[in-house]
Chains A and B, each alone.
Chain A
Amino acid sequence: MTIQQVDPGLVPYQVLDVEGNLVGAMPDLSAERMLSLYRFMQLGRAFSNKIIALQRQGRATTFGSLVGQEATAVGLSAPLQPQDWLATSYREIASLFVRGVPVPTVAYSFRGFTAENWPGELRCLPIQVVIGTQMLHAVGLAMAAKIAGDPVVAVGVCGDGATSEGDFNEALNFAGVYQAPVVLVVQNNGWAISVPRHKQSAAPTLAARGAGFGLPSEYVDGNDVLAVYDVMQKAVERARSGQGPTLVETLTYRIGAHTTADDPTRYRDPVEVEAWRTKDPIARFQKFLARRDLLNEERIRQIVEEVEEEVNEAIQVAEAMPPMAPDSFFDYTMANLPPRWQEQRADLLRYVERKG
């Protein structure tokens, strides 16, 4: 059995229990907003499942499932204002959708290309594959905001594995030293490919590591979207009001494989996976919303159909977009290409024309 925290006595902050009962104070969210969060969670799951299905058909590249982690992805992103920055890894894509990044744009990148129309003004850095580096970028963005005197907050997100990287530690250190207006989120899903959380750190929780850098931390049930939202909302506003950074650990579980290239049956106990399925973030929020008459079976079915259709349409759009030009990797190497690069580019284009 994976131990996501080394000290089981520590209880993560929760607003909804596993059955969707209210056990904590409700954050200030309208019914409409809550339904929107629910929809984004379903959208994230549908997108994740779709890309995996496409990958099996050879129509998409390697992809890391976010199934089971939708509450963290959506909850961490929802409190952000348009002027805030988000620097994520590769397993919280729904957070980008919440901020308005179009689904086809993200889908295009999983065709094996780079979206050449990334909406830079939405202030979401591209998906980061190089583990943990984005945490320093988030801190830097926050430091810049502070220097510029802008009421801007940056959020950096990484996994439990990333907390072992040097950059994570340097990021926490800088955040503390400069009191940067940043929220650093560790999405602890129990596994770094096949290495379980308890082998990643001897710390009782990853949140506890904040103390070593002088950072306040929050330890939250990552499958409870209201709890994640609540914690993030408070941490973001704390940062915005000049009260400095926060380290947030969300406790969740990677229901799927690390990526489409991974086989978790080699290293995980299926009993553990089933146990976490009972804590599903979408199911619990659904139960809560149903009890408030904001959802019923019909409405749920409608939403599920809607998001599936939205994802399918997005895939269609993405697949209809032209592939990147063969020489486009020259376009973005440097702003102004010296003659050497222009020669290499011409060489490639001749090769393409000759077809060999």
Chain B
Amino acid sequence: MQMTMIEALNSALALEMERDQRVILLGQDIGKNGGVFRVTEHLQQKFGEERVFDTPLSESGIIGSSVGMAIYGLRPIAEIQFAGFLFLCMNQLVSQAARIRFRSAGAYTCPLVVRAPYGGGVRTPELHSDSLEGVFLQTPGLKVVIPSNPYDAKGLLASAVADPDPVLFLENIKLYRSFRQETPEEHYSIPLGKAKTVQEGTDVSVFAYGAMVNVALEAVKLAQQEMGTSVEIIDLRTAWPLDEQAIVNSVEKTGRAIVVHEAPRAGGIGAEVTAIINEHCLYSLLKPVERVTGYDTPYPVPGLEDYYLPTPAKVLTALKQVMEP
């Protein structure tokens, strides 16, 4: 069935709730309103207010109580209305959810999924488009998943729910409704920590995730027309832990690498990919790794965001740079 990412996520949530009574959903406006992006539409009607409920405006409250519920034995899927608001619950996410197993030497665990929309190009007010995945490279115990399409979104969410440890599931706002894709109606899962080769190539490896996969695809079309370059595009899918083997395999093959992400440059996924290449296959590189990213500034106002975000043109510039002899 042709589904948008929203429909795919809604389908995944419904299936998880059907197959496991322990799964509950909580967050602001997710009940009758079905979520501000309608991802939880009709779920309260279908499963009842006990299992799908609205919360006060209280990110730390949402995550902290979810930690308790997860320890008890439920499988909460908490929604934080926008990823930028994760800053308000960092303590409960990082020092609690991510560390319950650690602190108790496994006596207690926290199988919690936190869903949050992120991403730019949609003219949101301040903090609503911020990409935070880079922050979570330094918060051990948390996984971060960022799908780029409806099919992956549904399968990855299923794996996130099944994971015995906390998972942050970031959903790109621009991708929510931008295209439909053939997506099975029944339950299936896609493993976390595994990248996907979207397009095979031999000259350069482009690593991207979220909305940047399509940006990379656009750029590559232009590169193929202009330069005849054979580009390999790898959708990382899980931002943490990274599929290091996939990264290394690709760079050993191509000798050139570009990383594309909306998030700021410093210490981000691009930095970590560069470090991984440095450690495992430096001598395969013909040129330095290029990063096409947001700038190291706060996410700009809607009127300027088009200058901030990576675009096919920016990626094309990087491709030319990296292909230069």
Contact = CB atoms under 8 A, between A and B. Distances in A.
A339 interface: yes
Given A148-B74, A329-B102, A120 B60 contact: no
Interface in B244-281: 244-245
Interface in B109-157: 109, 140-141, 143
B67 interface: yes
A320 B196 CA distance: 50
Contacts of B193: 338
A142 to B, nearest CB: 7
A140 B91 contact: no
Interface string B9-51: 0000000000000001000000000000000000000000011
A110 B69 CA distance: 28
B165 A339 contact: no
Nearest to B244: A340
Contacts of A166: 60
A22 interface: no
A355 B55 CA distance: 52
Interface in B45-96: 50-51, 55-56, 58, 60-61, 64-74, 91-92, 95-96
Interface residues of B, number: 43
A72 interface: no
Interface in B153-209: 163-165, 193
A328 to B, nearest CB: 8
A136 B64 contact: yes
Contacts of A167: 60-61, 64, 91-92
A319 interface: no
A145, A338, A339 — most chain B CB neighbours (10 Å): A338
A329 B103 CA distance: 10
A351 interface: no
Contacts of A177: 55-56
B64, B73, B244 — most chain A CB neighbours (10 Å): B64
Nearest to B73: A144
B141 A133 contact: no
Interface in A148-177: 148, 154, 166-167, 170-171, 173-174, 177
A338 B193 CA distance: 8
B107 interface: yes
Contacts of B244: 339-340
B70, B91, B140, B242 — most chain A CB neighbours (10 Å): B91
B65 A126 contact: no
Nearest to B51: A147
A194 interface: no
Contacts of A331: 105-106
A85 interface: yes
Contacts of A135: 64
B241 A141 contact: no
A166 B61 CA distance: 9
A315 to B, nearest CB: 20
B68 A333 contact: no
A116 B67 CA distance: 21
A267 interface: no
B297 interface: no
A114 interface: yes
Contact of B71 (A141, A171, A340): A141
A139 B65 contact: yes
A125 B64 CA distance: 14
B177 to A, nearest CB: 32
B60 A170 contact: yes
Contact of A140 (B58, B68, B109, B141): B68
Nearest to A170: B61
A335 B164 contact: yes
B105 A116 contact: yes
A117 B67 CA distance: 21
Contacts of A338: 193, 241
A302 to B, nearest CB: 35
Task: Identify the 10 closest CB pairs spanning chains A and B, nearest first.
Answer: A140-B68, A136-B64, A144-B72, A170-B61, A140-B65, A120-B107, A118-B107, A137-B68, A144-B69, A141-B68
13 contacts: A114-B105, A118-B104, A118-B107, A136-B60, A136-B61, A140-B69, A147-B50, A148-B72, A166-B60, A171-B61, A174-B55, A174-B56, A174-B58
Given A114-B104, A335-B165, 11 more contacts: A115-B105, A118-B104, A118-B105, A120-B104, A126-B107, A137-B68, A140-B64, A147-B51, A147-B74, A173-B58, A329-B102
Interface of B: 24, 50-51, 55-56, 58, 60-61, 64-74, 91-92, 95-96, 101-109, 140-141, 143, 163-165, 193, 241-242, 244-245
